[in-house]
Chains A and B, each alone.
Chain A
């Protein structure tokens, strides 16, 4: 019933609108008002353009200034300072061009609205003007390109030798991280060795894999270079750490990398943002399926000492999953047990020998 009355209501309103429209048209035909070009509506449209331009510029400045701290999120990496500075310089340049051109667009439209006692200027071309506005943008763009290249090459340069190497692997729908352990070398992996427990596909023929550990959270040392080794297991994902201004796709079959230096610990950020609950996060920015929007990884930036302490507390993956000792070649078993800190487990060795 309600549905029906709504339908009738809508129908009536539409019918009335239609009627008004029809009457209006007829009246216009009588008055011949569409014949006059320079009259009312032309001026109204020209005016509306100016009003729109002024109001929206005011709104633009007001909103951009008022909410600056909301959209400009704090920077927590060394290169982030550089790329953000580039962003704002580019924004300033384009902002000036934006305002000049938009103002001219609406101002000219207003100023030169039709009048029957005037003629437009016959002005088909002017080489000098054309030259100026080809060369001017070219110069500005050249400087932006040069500046951009300098920053880009710096950000993408090879990581320093002392960088902490950390692996991040994306899969549907989460991230997993792996640290190289005491030997500071990530062990080899093979996607065919992946199973429900061995999520990374660790290859235990490689001795470097024995002490690798895979915590639930990503810990980073403040002030030290860190290199992410990024890969994906199923489809493409993309590592995005907004506060570090860091983004790099995770591609199955093609490992990628990104290095950077974190500059603020989680604790410092909590003070800076005034949010005691603040946490760094990594998100996924390449659509990867149903759970794309939920691939959250918690990141903790520690003071270097805290970081070393945390690292020392972590147990190698192998020690948590000793049954995988069986996959270690016999001649390396001893070493595997030492490196993975598996104690007095002769029973396990015994078992795996059988």
Chain B
């Protein structure tokens, strides 16, 4: 039993959390119920997954950049997936692409990102001692862990892992006759994802309840940092959309193993006509994208929240349009559920539906552009400090612009006819979702590392890491626009079979080299990260002079987060450079009555009330 008093703000509870705490190694570091430890577990798992996912992409980038290359030297690692002539097996190429996508989208940018920062920041920033249910939180991590193990094991089985793309469209994914990855590999994929969804739901329910119920005194919804808003909305999206994927996966499992025909109809394969009739492969696509599109915002919103926080802090300036930011995130949340079929314009769906989804898709661009303009205005007339976290946040905004704008091409069904499933879409979603979300993750790590480990990361290594990665990402993904406009289809093992795709050999090689360099640069980060955990400079309690509550905890917050009473909140989190104030920041827990020199007229009015509230 954990003895933490779960965050009530009345005095009698202060002593509760001061209870003796008997932790042994296992309950402290492994089966921990402390949100900070669970966050670190997610972070480390996410980093490992990112390395694996990145590594897989390097292998297929070798194939795409240098189709003539002899890959005999990879045989010790890849065994029979290197053919006798020293080439990558075309089927394993698809397996690599599939696993790369699955790992990056789900295991790194969903679990690694939300898992780390929602867990770490929600209690610290809303002023809670821990999550609403520490046990469920622990369970959520361990479901994720088991899911990870299964997905990892599937990489090594005889028939290879799932290979039909991360969207696993049936019938390809339903029929082991269609490709060897659709055998055991696909079964493991489905089992792993089912567990993953359970983990996400456990986590999500916890985030939502914690935010609704455990906010400290004074922390109204409109005083919450934008990070918390973004985690809150992300969890809601996940809660509403992941169950649909679970449903889709279950039906697929039935089709695969129990002879049902939800997705299968009129199939003749491997010299045999299958008995299935009346099913619809399109049904799966609808179900999949009903999760799939919200999923891109599940990946992106936390990063946008993190960035808002970091950009405001390091511009020493309030985030511009706090309420507009919340409204645009709300808008994105709602709209993200009604645009899914823009992935299916040429699937054979009724063209009239296509028109509707085009309309809805382009509407979602409005809140997205509001966010960009608000970031720019926040920088305007700021007093900008380039910490590595700030650089990565600016990088995120740059990617979000570059990738978001091509959404207007993809979202327009008439244009999408040509661009669908080409490298153009690969460029689009890697910039707007892949790179942007990744930069949010990195920015978050640089920014909250001092609170996680009580030490500072090295800035200069951070700068070098940023510049190589930022330039590298553009060098990898920007050229793909050209390749895509020229019509090169995605998920192609080689382009040599077609006259139409015989160009851009040099550009593809360039992209591959850029990918190798960018990947290599990530080791600077890894070194910086692990070295600083043990040897980094000791961090002050509030190294960035930020306003949110986590910086009012001790250098290394212990179980229960605050040694004494939980601070109460008296102002919004963005009082930076307020005219009249002595310092250029005023933390959220400073009462208005202590800052008469800087109070705005409407704040001066509520000082009296506030004083009363503090006394009682």
Contact = CB atoms under 8 A, between A and B. Distances in A.
A129 B377 CA distance: 10
Contact of A120 (B265, B355, B485, B577): B577
Interface in B31-73: none
Interface stretch (A130-138, A177-185, A311-319, A330-338): A130-138
Given A101-B376, A112-B379, A243-B500, A122 B172 contact: no
A97 B409 CA distance: 14
B135 interface: no
B282 A251 contact: yes
Of residues B384, B409, B576, which shows the largest number of chain A Cβ atoms within 10 Å of its Cβ? Answer: B384
Contacts of A286: 169, 421
Contact of B281 (A24, A109, A196, A252): A252
B317 A122 contact: yes
A71 interface: yes
Interface string B367-383: 00110110111011111
A191 to B, nearest CB: 4
A156 B354 contact: yes
A293 to B, nearest CB: 4
- Most B C-beta atoms less than 10 A away, residue of A86, A256, A286: A286
A248 B348 contact: yes
A242 interface: yes
A279 B42 CA distance: 52
A155 B417 CA distance: 10
Q: How large, as a class, is the contact surface on chain B?
A: 35 or more
Nearest to A132: B373
Interface in B324-383: 324, 346-348, 351, 354-355, 358-359, 362-363, 365-366, 369-370, 372-373, 375-377, 379-383
Given A71-B483, A254-B280, A287 B401 contact: no
A70 interface: yes
Interface string A79-94: 0101110110011011
A44 B463 CA distance: 10
A155 B354 CA distance: 12
Contacts of B422: 285
B320 interface: yes
Interface in A175-223: 191-192, 194, 196, 201
Interface residues of A, number: 113
A152 B489 CA distance: 22
Interface stretch (B219-227, B391-399, B446-454): B391-399
B486 A70 contact: yes
B459 interface: yes
Interface stretch (A45-53, A301-309, A321-329, A339-347): A45-53
Interface in A91-135: 91, 93-94, 97-98, 101-102, 104-105, 108-109, 112-115, 118-126, 129-130, 133-134
A190 B495 CA distance: 34
A167 interface: no
B497 A293 contact: yes
B460 A41 contact: yes
Contacts of B91: 289-290
A293 B90 contact: yes
A94 B172 contact: no
A37 B544 CA distance: 11
B522 interface: no
Contact of A124 (B318, B358, B501): B318
B351 A118 contact: no
A315 B490 CA distance: 37
Contact of B500 (A48, A67, A73, A288): A73
A349 interface: no
A113 to B, nearest CB: 5
Contact of A141 (B365, B414, B474, B478): B365
A172 B180 CA distance: 14
A98 B405 contact: yes
B496 to A, nearest CB: 9
Contact of A45 (B90, B320, B381, B386): B386
A112 B380 contact: yes
Interface of A: 21, 24-25, 29, 34, 37, 41-42, 44-46, 48-49, 52, 56, 60, 63-64, 67, 70-73, 80, 82-84, 86-87, 90-91, 93-94, 97-98, 101-102, 104-105, 108-109, 112-115, 118-126, 129-130, 133-134, 137-138, 141, 144-145, 148-149, 151-153, 155-156, 171-172, 191-192, 194, 196, 201, 233-236, 238, 240, 242-243, 245-249, 251-254, 256, 275, 277-279, 281, 283-294, 296
23 contacts: A25-B537, A41-B463, A42-B385, A48-B467, A84-B418, A101-B372, A104-B376, A112-B384, A113-B384, A114-B316, A119-B584, A121-B317, A125-B322, A133-B373, A148-B362, A148-B413, A155-B414, A156-B354, A242-B418, A278-B499, A286-B421, A293-B493, A293-B495
Given A121-B317, A296-B498, 6 more contacts: A45-B463, A46-B386, A102-B398, A122-B577, A172-B178, A191-B268
